[in-house]
Structure 1
């Protein structure tokens, strides 16, 4: 199983993944727990607190880091996935489907325009 397939398999079964971005000096920043969804064979994450969140700003430095969940851990690349309304709508649906048992307020935050502006595809390094 490739790293991408393994990451997707884990993300399907857990609610939360942990991401640590790589700093300019190559070290890893603090890990943050976030929600992740699959769409069309790729793994996506968003910042519920928008572009001001520290973990999201960290992904902008080198676009590299680590992802872990459910015993899986590997280096990752963070690829901007913003600006495509159809993709954003599909990812919104994926969040609403996967996390439907959470409050509407929480789902509204992860599908807000502020969160949509931070959509990242997580790819193997």
Structure 2
């Protein structure tokens, strides 16, 4: 597993939103989707409100690679499925970062959304 350098981790973790473009089977990038992003420990995570059926999540499954942009950082990444042991930390990070939007943040704290938790690793 490749780890983030400190400044990129800080910038991405502090960014309000992240643009994610997943790679198609032929290696070209899809159009980017803007979403919330959280940092838990030394890792960066995203979730789909629509769970694993969400269109952007489905797009990450063809090659498990893509590109992100957030907080001035542009990085090619690998999408890794987070394990259930990571969910609580990610839940906490979403609550802390986006808790000012209580009616929205609850949508990324459902069992369906948790199942779509992806850890973004630099490549």
TM-score (norm 2): 0.91
1:88 aligned to 2:94?
no
Question: Once the 2 structures are TM-superposed, how far is the Cα of residue 14 of structure 1 from its aligned partner?
Answer: 1.4
Root-mean-square deviation (CA, aligned residues, Å) is: 1.6
Query: Could you tell me which residue of structure 1 aligns to residue 47 of structure 2?
Result: 46
Question: Once the 2 structures are TM-superposed, how far is the Cα of residue 10 of structure 1 from its aligned partner?
Answer: 1.4
Cα distance in structure 2, aligned partners of 1:97 and 1:10: 17
Question: Once the 2 structures are TM-superposed, how far is the Cα of residue 3 of structure 1 from its aligned partner?
Answer: 7.4
Count, aligned residues: 121
Query: Could you tell me which residue of structure 1 aligns to residue 97 of structure 2?
Result: 98
Question: Once the 2 structures are TM-superposed, how far is the Cα of residue 109 of structure 1 from its aligned partner?
Answer: 0.3
Cα distance in structure 2, aligned partners of 1:124 and 1:91: 18
Cα distance in structure 2, aligned partners of 1:9 and 1:27: 28
Q: Which runs of 4+ in 1 moved over 6 A?
A: none
Query: Could you tell me which residue of structure 2 aligns to residue 4 of structure 1?
Result: 4
Give 5+ residue unaligned stretches, structure 2. none
SS in 2 for 1:76: strand
- Please show how residues 19-58 of structure 1 align to structure 2 within 5 Å: 19-58=20-59
TM-score (norm 1): 0.89
- The Cα offsets for residues 48-79 of structure 1, whole Å up to 9 and x where unpaired, read as 12112211001111000001012211100000
Q: In the alignment, which of 113, 116, 124 is matched to residue 114 of structure 2?
A: 116
